[in-house]
Protein backbone atom coordinates (compact mmCIF):
# COMPACT_ATOMS: atom_id res chain seq x y z
CA UNK A 1 0.00 0.00 0.00
CA UNK A 2 1.17 3.52 -0.82
CA UNK A 3 -0.02 7.02 0.03
CA UNK A 4 -1.91 8.88 -2.71
CA UNK A 5 -3.16 12.49 -2.62
CA UNK A 6 -5.75 13.81 -5.06
CA UNK A 7 -7.14 17.30 -4.59
CA UNK A 8 -7.87 20.80 -5.73
CA UNK A 9 -7.15 24.06 -3.95
CA UNK A 10 -6.99 27.82 -4.39
CA UNK A 11 -3.70 27.28 -6.21
CA UNK A 12 -5.20 25.12 -8.96
CA UNK A 13 -8.91 25.97 -9.16
CA UNK A 14 -10.97 29.16 -9.41
CA UNK A 15 -13.08 30.13 -6.41
CA UNK A 16 -16.28 29.34 -8.32
CA UNK A 17 -15.21 25.70 -8.79
CA UNK A 18 -14.16 25.40 -5.15
CA UNK A 19 -17.60 26.66 -4.17
CA UNK A 20 -19.30 24.03 -6.31
CA UNK A 21 -17.08 21.33 -4.82
CA UNK A 22 -17.58 22.31 -1.18
CA UNK A 23 -18.52 19.27 0.95
CA UNK A 24 -20.16 19.13 4.35
CA UNK A 25 -18.68 16.91 7.06
CA UNK A 26 -21.40 14.32 6.46
CA UNK A 27 -20.68 14.20 2.73
CA UNK A 28 -16.95 13.84 3.45
CA UNK A 29 -17.66 10.78 5.59
CA UNK A 30 -19.87 9.27 2.87
CA UNK A 31 -17.12 9.82 0.30
CA UNK A 32 -14.59 8.08 2.57
CA UNK A 33 -16.92 5.10 2.98
CA UNK A 34 -17.43 4.89 -0.78
CA UNK A 35 -13.70 5.00 -1.46
CA UNK A 36 -12.90 2.28 1.07
CA UNK A 37 -15.31 -0.02 -0.75
CA UNK A 38 -13.59 0.55 -4.10
CA UNK A 39 -11.11 -1.87 -5.64
CA UNK A 40 -7.82 -0.11 -4.93
CA UNK A 41 -8.37 2.00 -1.77
CA UNK A 42 -7.86 0.54 1.71
CA UNK A 43 -8.02 3.72 3.81
CA UNK A 44 -9.14 7.28 3.07
CA UNK A 45 -9.66 10.66 4.70
CA UNK A 46 -11.16 13.79 3.14
CA UNK A 47 -9.81 17.19 4.18
CA UNK A 48 -12.29 19.91 3.19
CA UNK A 49 -11.57 23.54 4.08
CA UNK A 50 -12.58 26.91 2.70
CA UNK A 51 -9.85 26.79 0.06
CA UNK A 52 -9.07 23.11 -0.55
CA UNK A 53 -10.63 19.69 -1.02
CA UNK A 54 -8.17 16.82 -0.72
CA UNK A 55 -8.36 13.05 -0.42
CA UNK A 56 -5.52 11.18 1.27
CA UNK A 57 -5.72 7.45 0.57
CA UNK A 58 -3.75 4.25 1.03
CA UNK A 59 -3.94 2.53 -2.35
CA UNK A 60 -2.72 -0.78 -3.76
CA UNK A 61 -2.00 0.62 -7.24
CA UNK A 62 -1.32 4.12 -8.52
CA UNK A 63 -3.50 4.22 -11.64
CA UNK A 64 -6.31 2.22 -10.06
CA UNK A 65 -6.20 4.41 -6.97
CA UNK A 66 -6.33 7.63 -9.01
CA UNK A 67 -9.32 6.29 -10.98
CA UNK A 68 -11.18 5.26 -7.81
CA UNK A 69 -10.52 8.55 -6.00
CA UNK A 70 -11.24 10.71 -9.05
CA UNK A 71 -14.53 8.93 -9.68
CA UNK A 72 -15.55 9.23 -6.05
CA UNK A 73 -14.69 12.92 -5.97
CA UNK A 74 -16.74 13.62 -9.10
CA UNK A 75 -19.71 11.76 -7.67
CA UNK A 76 -19.51 13.49 -4.28
CA UNK A 77 -19.22 17.01 -5.70
CA UNK A 78 -21.54 16.56 -8.68
CA UNK A 79 -18.85 18.01 -10.95
CA UNK A 80 -18.03 16.15 -14.15
CA UNK A 81 -14.70 14.34 -13.88
CA UNK A 82 -13.46 15.86 -17.14
CA UNK A 83 -13.96 19.35 -15.70
CA UNK A 84 -12.39 18.40 -12.38
CA UNK A 85 -9.34 16.84 -14.01
CA UNK A 86 -8.13 20.18 -15.36
CA UNK A 87 -7.75 21.46 -11.80
CA UNK A 88 -6.75 18.36 -9.82
CA UNK A 89 -3.26 17.66 -8.53
CA UNK A 90 -1.97 14.17 -7.77
CA UNK A 91 0.92 13.20 -5.48
CA UNK A 92 2.14 9.68 -4.77
CA UNK A 93 4.39 8.02 -2.18
CA UNK A 94 7.27 10.39 -1.22
CA UNK A 95 5.67 13.39 -2.97
CA UNK A 96 2.37 12.66 -1.20
CA UNK A 97 4.03 12.65 2.23
CA UNK A 98 5.86 15.89 1.41
CA UNK A 99 2.61 17.52 0.26
CA UNK A 100 0.77 16.51 3.44
CA UNK A 101 3.52 17.89 5.69
CA UNK A 102 3.61 21.11 3.65
CA UNK A 103 -0.17 21.54 3.92
CA UNK A 104 -0.29 20.91 7.66
CA UNK A 105 2.43 23.50 8.25
CA UNK A 106 0.30 26.08 6.45
CA UNK A 107 2.83 26.58 3.65
CA UNK A 108 0.18 25.80 1.04
CA UNK A 109 -2.55 27.97 2.59
CA UNK A 110 -3.86 31.30 1.32
CA UNK A 111 -2.66 32.79 4.58
CA UNK A 112 0.84 31.34 4.68
CA UNK A 113 1.57 29.87 8.10
CA UNK A 114 -2.03 29.88 9.34
CA UNK A 115 -2.65 27.41 12.14
CA UNK A 116 -6.29 26.51 11.45
CA UNK A 117 -5.27 23.76 9.05
CA UNK A 118 -3.74 21.83 11.96
CA UNK A 119 -7.11 21.59 13.67
CA UNK A 120 -8.93 20.88 10.41
CA UNK A 121 -6.67 17.91 9.57
CA UNK A 122 -6.90 16.60 13.14
CA UNK A 123 -10.71 16.83 13.09
CA UNK A 124 -10.92 15.07 9.72
CA UNK A 125 -8.60 12.28 10.92
CA UNK A 126 -10.59 11.66 14.10
CA UNK A 127 -13.91 11.64 12.25
CA UNK A 128 -12.59 9.15 9.69
CA UNK A 129 -11.14 6.98 12.46
CA UNK A 130 -14.55 6.74 14.11
CA UNK A 131 -16.05 5.32 10.91
CA UNK A 132 -13.10 3.00 10.28
CA UNK A 133 -11.96 4.80 7.11
CA UNK A 134 -8.57 5.63 8.67
CA UNK A 135 -6.48 2.66 9.78
CA UNK A 136 -2.92 2.14 10.97
CA UNK A 137 -1.12 3.40 7.86
CA UNK A 138 -3.01 6.68 7.38
CA UNK A 139 -3.08 7.33 11.11
CA UNK A 140 0.70 7.02 11.27
CA UNK A 141 1.38 9.54 8.51
CA UNK A 142 -1.32 11.98 9.66
CA UNK A 143 -0.08 11.90 13.25
CA UNK A 144 3.46 12.53 12.09
CA UNK A 145 2.22 15.43 9.93
CA UNK A 146 0.51 17.04 12.93
CA UNK A 147 3.75 16.80 14.91
CA UNK A 148 5.61 18.45 12.03
CA UNK A 149 3.06 21.26 11.96
CA UNK A 150 3.48 21.89 15.69
CA UNK A 151 7.27 21.90 15.34
CA UNK A 152 7.10 24.35 12.45
CA UNK A 153 5.14 26.86 14.52
CA UNK A 154 7.19 26.33 17.68
CA UNK A 155 10.71 26.21 16.22
CA UNK A 156 10.70 28.55 13.22
CA UNK A 157 9.54 32.03 12.28
CA UNK A 158 6.54 30.61 10.41
CA UNK A 159 3.98 32.57 12.42
CA UNK A 160 5.55 35.81 11.19
CA UNK A 161 5.59 34.81 7.53
CA UNK A 162 1.96 35.63 6.88
CA UNK A 163 -1.26 36.84 8.47
CA UNK A 164 -4.44 34.96 9.17
CA UNK A 165 -7.33 35.36 6.76
CA UNK A 166 -9.28 37.29 9.38
CA UNK A 167 -6.40 39.64 10.13
CA UNK A 168 -5.79 40.20 6.44
CA UNK A 169 -9.50 40.88 5.88
CA UNK A 170 -9.66 43.40 8.71
CA UNK A 171 -6.45 45.04 7.50
CA UNK A 172 -8.06 45.47 4.08
CA UNK A 173 -11.14 46.96 5.74
CA UNK A 174 -9.06 49.54 7.61
CA UNK A 175 -7.81 50.87 4.26
CA UNK A 176 -11.39 51.93 3.44
CA UNK A 177 -13.12 52.72 6.75
CA UNK A 178 -10.17 53.88 8.85
CA UNK A 179 -8.92 52.55 12.21
CA UNK A 180 -10.97 49.79 13.81
CA UNK A 181 -11.09 51.78 17.05
CA UNK A 182 -13.67 54.02 15.41
CA UNK A 183 -15.52 51.28 13.54
CA UNK A 184 -18.50 49.03 14.20
CA UNK A 185 -17.68 45.42 13.27
CA UNK A 186 -20.56 43.00 12.67
CA UNK A 187 -19.78 39.26 12.52
CA UNK A 188 -22.40 37.16 10.71
CA UNK A 189 -22.28 33.49 11.74
CA UNK A 190 -21.20 31.59 14.85
CA UNK A 191 -18.92 28.79 13.62
CA UNK A 192 -15.19 28.31 14.14
CA UNK A 193 -14.20 30.99 11.63
CA UNK A 194 -16.71 33.41 13.14
CA UNK A 195 -15.24 32.78 16.57
CA UNK A 196 -11.80 33.63 15.21
CA UNK A 197 -13.22 36.78 13.61
CA UNK A 198 -14.81 37.92 16.88
CA UNK A 199 -11.64 37.27 18.88
CA UNK A 200 -9.41 38.98 16.30
CA UNK A 201 -11.64 42.05 15.96
CA UNK A 202 -11.71 42.42 19.76
CA UNK A 203 -7.94 42.00 20.00
CA UNK A 204 -7.37 44.61 17.31
CA UNK A 205 -9.52 47.10 19.23
CA UNK A 206 -12.78 47.30 17.32
CA UNK A 207 -14.77 50.27 18.63
CA UNK A 208 -18.00 48.27 18.67
CA UNK A 209 -18.51 44.57 18.08
CA UNK A 210 -21.75 42.73 17.31
CA UNK A 211 -22.59 39.11 16.41
CA UNK A 212 -25.65 37.76 14.64
CA UNK A 213 -26.60 34.17 13.88
CA UNK A 214 -29.72 32.16 13.15
CA UNK A 215 -29.21 30.36 16.47
CA UNK A 216 -29.12 33.16 19.01
CA UNK A 217 -27.54 31.08 21.80
CA UNK A 218 -24.41 30.48 19.73
CA UNK A 219 -24.13 34.17 18.92
CA UNK A 220 -24.44 35.01 22.60
CA UNK A 221 -21.60 32.65 23.51
CA UNK A 222 -19.27 34.24 20.95
CA UNK A 223 -20.19 37.80 21.86
CA UNK A 224 -19.88 37.23 25.60
CA UNK A 225 -16.29 36.08 25.29
CA UNK A 226 -15.28 39.32 23.57
CA UNK A 227 -17.55 41.81 25.31
CA UNK A 228 -19.68 42.27 22.19
CA UNK A 229 -23.38 42.59 21.63
CA UNK A 230 -25.90 40.28 19.95
CA UNK A 231 -28.25 41.18 17.12
CA UNK A 232 -31.27 39.00 16.36
CA UNK A 233 -30.90 37.45 12.89
CA UNK A 234 -34.25 38.81 11.75
CA UNK A 235 -32.85 42.30 12.37
CA UNK A 236 -29.95 41.75 9.96
CA UNK A 237 -31.07 44.58 7.55
CA UNK A 238 -30.82 47.17 10.29
CA UNK A 239 -27.56 45.71 11.64
CA UNK A 240 -25.96 45.96 8.19
CA UNK A 241 -26.85 49.65 7.99
CA UNK A 242 -25.06 50.32 11.28
CA UNK A 243 -21.92 48.26 10.57
CA UNK A 244 -18.79 49.73 9.01
CA UNK A 245 -17.20 46.29 8.60
CA UNK A 246 -19.24 43.12 8.05
CA UNK A 247 -17.36 39.83 8.45
CA UNK A 248 -19.50 36.99 7.12
CA UNK A 249 -18.66 33.28 7.40
CA UNK A 250 -21.87 31.32 7.89
CA UNK A 251 -21.38 28.17 5.81
CA UNK A 252 -24.99 28.59 4.69
CA UNK A 253 -24.35 27.15 1.22
CA UNK A 254 -25.86 30.18 -0.52
CA UNK A 255 -25.89 33.97 -0.45
CA UNK A 256 -26.80 35.44 2.94
CA UNK A 257 -26.32 39.05 1.83
CA UNK A 258 -27.60 39.93 -1.63
CA UNK A 259 -27.47 43.23 -3.54
CA UNK A 260 -30.97 44.24 -2.46
CA UNK A 261 -30.26 43.72 1.25
CA UNK A 262 -26.91 45.50 1.06
CA UNK A 263 -28.40 48.27 -1.09
CA UNK A 264 -30.98 49.11 1.56
CA UNK A 265 -28.17 49.34 4.11
CA UNK A 266 -26.20 51.68 1.83
CA UNK A 267 -29.21 53.99 1.48
CA UNK A 268 -29.29 54.46 5.26
CA UNK A 269 -25.54 55.04 5.67
CA UNK A 270 -25.51 58.49 4.04
CA UNK A 271 -22.37 57.91 2.02
CA UNK A 272 -20.22 56.40 4.77
CA UNK A 273 -17.93 53.65 3.34
CA UNK A 274 -18.56 50.02 4.19
CA UNK A 275 -16.52 46.82 3.77
CA UNK A 276 -17.78 43.25 3.53
CA UNK A 277 -15.17 40.63 4.43
CA UNK A 278 -16.54 37.38 3.00
CA UNK A 279 -14.69 34.39 4.47
CA UNK A 280 -17.29 31.80 3.51
CA UNK A 281 -17.10 29.07 0.90
CA UNK A 282 -19.52 28.99 -0.83
CA UNK A 283 -19.63 32.79 -0.58
CA UNK A 284 -22.08 34.60 1.68
CA UNK A 285 -22.00 37.91 -0.23
CA UNK A 286 -23.56 38.08 -3.70
CA UNK A 287 -21.65 39.41 -6.71
CA UNK A 288 -23.76 42.55 -7.08
CA UNK A 289 -22.85 43.90 -3.63
CA UNK A 290 -19.40 45.01 -4.79
CA UNK A 291 -20.97 47.35 -7.33
CA UNK A 292 -22.86 49.41 -4.75
CA UNK A 293 -21.61 52.97 -4.05
CA UNK A 294 -19.13 53.16 -1.19
CA UNK A 295 -19.08 49.38 -0.72
CA UNK A 296 -15.94 47.24 -0.95
CA UNK A 297 -16.02 43.42 -0.89
CA UNK A 298 -12.98 41.42 0.21
CA UNK A 299 -13.44 37.69 -0.42
CA UNK A 300 -11.15 34.67 -0.30
CA UNK A 301 -9.90 35.26 -3.83
CA UNK A 302 -8.88 38.84 -3.02
CA UNK A 303 -7.27 37.74 0.24
CA UNK A 304 -5.35 35.01 -1.56
CA UNK A 305 -3.73 37.59 -3.84
CA UNK A 306 -2.94 39.93 -0.95
CA UNK A 307 -1.39 37.25 1.21
CA UNK A 308 0.65 35.74 -1.61
CA UNK A 309 2.31 39.08 -2.20
CA UNK A 310 3.13 39.47 1.51
CA UNK A 311 4.83 36.09 2.01
CA UNK A 312 8.60 36.43 2.25
CA UNK A 313 10.51 33.47 0.87
CA UNK A 314 13.45 33.89 3.24
CA UNK A 315 11.18 33.56 6.27
CA UNK A 316 9.96 30.20 5.01
CA UNK A 317 13.34 28.61 4.27
CA UNK A 318 13.67 27.09 7.76
CA UNK A 319 10.18 25.61 7.54
CA UNK A 320 10.84 24.00 4.18
CA UNK A 321 14.10 22.55 5.49
CA UNK A 322 12.27 21.15 8.51
CA UNK A 323 9.60 19.61 6.27
CA UNK A 324 12.24 18.00 4.03
CA UNK A 325 14.06 16.52 7.04
CA UNK A 326 10.83 15.22 8.57
CA UNK A 327 9.74 13.63 5.30
CA UNK A 328 12.99 11.70 5.10
CA UNK A 329 12.81 10.73 8.79
CA UNK A 330 9.26 9.42 8.36
CA UNK A 331 10.10 7.46 5.23
CA UNK A 332 13.22 6.00 6.88
CA UNK A 333 11.12 4.87 9.85
CA UNK A 334 8.58 3.31 7.49
CA UNK A 335 11.31 1.45 5.63
CA UNK A 336 12.78 0.18 8.90
CA UNK A 337 9.33 -0.97 10.02
CA UNK A 338 8.86 -2.77 6.73
CA UNK A 339 11.88 -5.05 7.33
CA UNK A 340 10.83 -6.03 10.85
CA UNK A 341 8.78 -9.06 9.69
CA UNK A 342 11.79 -10.29 7.72
CA UNK A 343 14.01 -10.09 10.82
CA UNK A 344 11.38 -11.91 12.88
CA UNK A 345 11.05 -14.58 10.20
CA UNK A 346 14.83 -15.09 10.01
CA UNK A 347 15.13 -15.49 13.76
CA UNK A 348 12.13 -17.84 13.83
CA UNK A 349 13.75 -19.97 11.14
CA UNK A 350 17.03 -20.09 13.06
CA UNK A 351 15.22 -20.99 16.28
CA UNK A 352 13.33 -23.85 14.61
CA UNK A 353 16.55 -25.23 13.07
CA UNK A 354 18.37 -25.08 16.43
CA UNK A 355 15.53 -26.75 18.30
CA UNK A 356 15.26 -29.51 15.68
CA UNK A 357 19.01 -30.21 15.78
CA UNK A 358 19.14 -30.19 19.57
CA UNK A 359 16.20 -32.60 19.67
CA UNK A 360 17.98 -34.89 17.18
CA UNK A 361 21.18 -34.71 19.26
CA UNK A 362 19.31 -35.51 22.45
CA UNK A 363 17.76 -38.54 20.78
CA UNK A 364 21.11 -39.87 19.68
CA UNK A 365 22.90 -39.25 23.02
CA UNK A 366 20.10 -40.50 25.22
CA UNK A 367 21.16 -40.65 28.89
CA UNK A 368 24.89 -40.79 28.17
CA UNK A 369 25.29 -37.05 28.89
CA UNK A 370 24.36 -35.55 32.24
CA UNK A 371 21.96 -32.56 32.41
CA UNK A 372 24.67 -29.99 33.19
CA UNK A 373 26.67 -30.90 30.07
CA UNK A 374 23.49 -31.06 27.99
CA UNK A 375 22.56 -27.51 29.14
CA UNK A 376 26.02 -26.21 28.27
CA UNK A 377 25.77 -27.72 24.78
CA UNK A 378 22.35 -26.13 24.17
CA UNK A 379 23.53 -22.74 25.44
CA UNK A 380 26.64 -22.89 23.24
CA UNK A 381 24.58 -23.65 20.13
CA UNK A 382 22.17 -20.81 20.88
CA UNK A 383 25.10 -18.39 21.42
CA UNK A 384 26.69 -19.35 18.08
CA UNK A 385 23.42 -18.79 16.21
CA UNK A 386 22.79 -15.45 17.97
CA UNK A 387 26.26 -14.21 17.10
CA UNK A 388 25.86 -15.26 13.48
CA UNK A 389 22.50 -13.50 13.20
CA UNK A 390 23.40 -10.35 15.15
CA UNK A 391 25.32 -8.47 12.47
CA UNK A 392 23.01 -9.17 9.51
CA UNK A 393 19.86 -8.34 11.48
CA UNK A 394 21.28 -5.10 12.86
CA UNK A 395 22.71 -4.16 9.48
CA UNK A 396 19.53 -4.85 7.53
CA UNK A 397 17.63 -2.53 9.89
CA UNK A 398 20.24 0.21 9.41
CA UNK A 399 20.24 -0.18 5.62
CA UNK A 400 16.45 -0.16 5.52
CA UNK A 401 16.51 3.47 6.65
CA UNK A 402 18.23 4.45 3.42
CA UNK A 403 16.43 4.91 0.06
CA UNK A 404 16.14 1.51 -1.58
CA UNK A 405 17.20 -0.20 1.63
CA UNK A 406 14.25 -2.59 1.69
CA UNK A 407 16.01 -4.47 -1.12
CA UNK A 408 18.33 -6.00 1.49
CA UNK A 409 15.32 -7.49 3.28
CA UNK A 410 14.13 -8.84 -0.07
CA UNK A 411 17.52 -10.51 -0.50
CA UNK A 412 17.31 -12.12 2.94
CA UNK A 413 13.87 -13.49 2.19
CA UNK A 414 15.11 -15.00 -1.08
CA UNK A 415 18.34 -16.41 0.36
CA UNK A 416 16.67 -18.10 3.34
CA UNK A 417 13.32 -18.82 1.63
CA UNK A 418 11.47 -17.06 4.44
CA UNK A 419 7.69 -17.47 4.68
CA UNK A 420 6.45 -14.23 6.29
CA UNK A 421 2.84 -15.35 6.22
CA UNK A 422 3.61 -18.48 8.22
CA UNK A 423 5.57 -16.49 10.77
CA UNK A 424 2.80 -13.92 11.12
CA UNK A 425 0.21 -16.60 11.75
CA UNK A 426 2.32 -18.03 14.59
CA UNK A 427 3.77 -14.84 16.12
CA UNK A 428 1.07 -12.30 15.32
CA UNK A 429 3.62 -9.97 13.69
CA UNK A 430 1.97 -7.88 10.97
CA UNK A 431 3.45 -8.08 7.49
CA UNK A 432 1.37 -5.35 5.86
CA UNK A 433 4.33 -3.02 5.64
CA UNK A 434 6.18 -5.36 3.29
CA UNK A 435 5.41 -4.83 -0.37
Q: What is the mean pLDDT for each group of 10 consecutive residues in the chain (435 residues)?
A: 94 89 94 96 95 95 97 96 95 96 90 85 96 95 96 85 78 95 95 88 94 93 92 94 95 88 95 94 90 94 76 72 93 77 81 87 83 86 86 76 69 76 48 36
313: in domain: no
327: in domain: no
Q: Residue 76's closest CA among 99, 55, 103?
A: 55
359: Cβ contacts below 8 Å, ≥ 6 apart: none
Query: Does the model's pTM come out above 0.85?
Result: no
367: Cβ contacts below 8 Å, ≥ 6 apart: none
Q: Are residues 410 and 376 in the same domain?
A: yes
Strands 208-213 and 184-188: parallel
Note the pLDDT of residue 405.
Answer: 63
CATH for 35: 3.30.460.30
Q: Radius of gyration (Cα) for the chain, nearest Å?
A: 30
Which residue range is the domain that position 90 belongs to?
2-160
Note the pLDDT of residue 315.
Answer: 65
Q: Are residues 296 and 369 in the same domain?
A: no
Q: Are residues 173 and 150 in the same domain?
A: no
Q: Are residues 110 and 49 in the same domain?
A: yes
Note the pLDDT of residue 2.
Answer: 93
Note the pLDDT of residue 162.
Answer: 55
Looking at 94, 128, 160, which one is the last position of a domain? 160
CATH for 191: 3.40.50.720
Note the pLDDT of residue 314.
Answer: 59
Domain count, the chain: 3
328: in domain: no
Q: Is 50 considered catalytic here?
A: yes
Rounded (10°) angle between helices 136-155 and 116-131: 170
Note the pLDDT of residue 219.
Answer: 93
Note the pLDDT of residue 84.
Answer: 94
Q: Are residues 144 and 15 in the same domain?
A: yes
Active-site entry in 28, 50, 105, 249? 50
Q: Are residues 298 and 356 in the same domain?
A: no
Do 90 and 9 touch, CB atoms closer than 8 A? no
318: in domain: no
Q: Are residues 10 and 100 in the same domain?
A: yes
Q: Are residues 73 and 19 in the same domain?
A: yes
Note the pLDDT of residue 425.
Answer: 47
Note the pLDDT of residue 201.
Answer: 94
387: in domain: yes
CA distance 110 to 164: 9
Amino acid sequence: MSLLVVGLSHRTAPLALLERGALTSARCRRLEDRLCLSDHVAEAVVVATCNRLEIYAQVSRFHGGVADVGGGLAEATGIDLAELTDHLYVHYETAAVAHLFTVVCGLDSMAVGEQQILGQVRTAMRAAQETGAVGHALHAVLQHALKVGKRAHAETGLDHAGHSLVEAGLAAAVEHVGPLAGAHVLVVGAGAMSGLAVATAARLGAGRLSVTNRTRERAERLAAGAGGGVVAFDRLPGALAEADVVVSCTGAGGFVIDADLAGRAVARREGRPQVYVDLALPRDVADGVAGLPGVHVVDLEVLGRRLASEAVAADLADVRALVAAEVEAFLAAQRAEAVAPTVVALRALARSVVEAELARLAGRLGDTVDERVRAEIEQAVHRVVEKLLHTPTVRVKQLAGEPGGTGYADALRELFDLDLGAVASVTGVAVGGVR
